[in-house]
Amino acid sequence: MNSNINVAIDGPAGAGKSTVAKLLAAKLSFVYIDTGAMYRALTWKAKEDNVDYHDEVSLTKLLEKMDLELKYEQGGVKIILGGKDITEAVRSPEVTNNVSYVARHARIRDYMVMKQQELAAKGKTVMDGRDIGTAVLPEAAVKFFLTASVQERAERRYLEQTEKGIESDIELLKEEISKRDRLDTERKTAPLKKADDALEIDTTNMSIDEVVERLLTITQEQMEAYE
């Protein structure tokens, strides 16, 4: 098998990217790379250090000295910053509602993309985010663009919150998701966009297993074509 194969998965919030990317990576024995976690970690650190989410220069300085480690363990990714486990903290509403402001800055994106390309240089990764097929890995062997209706994505987040014992509200979640989609789609640098050669899959009525099976079949077909 050609070992320089990467799988790019993009799409809006709640489309199921990280869930299926993790499972697909495990089935392929590839490494899963969660690029959203990198933007979330920077947003969390900015809040900790009182750096303005709109201050590109200060955010870039903060990012360059950030000691971030993504630890891939069975069943998930641990986000370690300066030795501290911030896996749960980066999922807070504060981070979720502000990460798209931090991710808008061109200098931040340049740095993140460079790091992400380093991580994928040897191939055999499944990487998910917003600009993987378009900017980070334009040469990826396989590209998917996952979508689902806003209603479905909000319901998925609602269930997720309920399972964690957190009270939430579907209408509010719909608003937050739509706002983040808008910011991610309309930003100047590497906006959320389907790559021309990505396969779009609407997962609204699909189970996680169905999506994973579909992605696995397509990836295996593409991998054979690469051999």
Question: Does residue 184 interact with ligand CDP by CB under 6 A?
Answer: yes
Number of residues that bind ligand CDP (CB under 6 A): 27
The only residue of 15, 28, 59, 154 in contact with ligand CDP, by rule CB under 6 A: 15
In angstroms, what CA-CA distances link 30 with 7, 19, 104, 112? 9, 15, 29, 21
Residue type, 172: L
Question: Does residue 16 interact with ligand CDP by CB under 6 A?
Answer: yes
Q: Whose Cβ is closer to ligand CDP: residue 2's or residue 120's?
A: 120
The only residue of 45, 105, 143, 156 in contact with ligand CDP, by rule CB under 6 A: 156
The only residue of 147, 180, 195, 215 in contact with ligand CDP, by rule CB under 6 A: 180
14 is in an annotated binding site: yes
For residue 169, how far is the Cα from the chain centroid? Answer: 23
Residues β-bridged to residue 165: none
State how far the Cα of 144 lies from the Cα of 146, in Å rounded to an integer. 6
Count CB neighbours of 28 within 10 A.
Answer: 19
The window from 13-21, 55-63, 66-74, 193-201 that contacts ligand CDP (CB under 6 A) reads 13-21
Q: Whose Cβ is closer to ligand CDP: residue 212's or residue 227's?
A: 212
Strand order from edge to edge, sheet including 76-81: 68-73, 76-81, 84-85
For residue 74, what are its two tokens? 């069975």
What does the longest C-alpha to C-alpha distance in the chain come to? 50
The only residue of 6, 35, 134, 147 in contact with ligand CDP, by rule CB under 6 A: 35
Residue type, 45: K
Question: Does residue 133 interact with ligand CDP by CB under 6 A?
Answer: no
For residue 53, what are its two tokens? 């989410």
Question: Does residue 203 interact with ligand CDP by CB under 6 A?
Answer: yes
Q: Count of alpha carbons within 13 Å of 63, Cβ hemisphere only?
A: 26
Count CB neighbours of 124 within 10 A.
Answer: 17
Q: Whose Cβ is closer to ligand CDP: residue 36's or residue 123's?
A: 36
Q: Whose Cβ is closer to ligand CDP: residue 101's or residue 223's?
A: 101
Residues tagged in the binding site annotation for ATP: 11-19
**Binding positions for ligand CDP, rule: CB under 6 A:** 11, 13-19, 35-36, 39-40, 99-100, 103, 129-131, 156, 160, 180, 184, 203, 206-208, 211
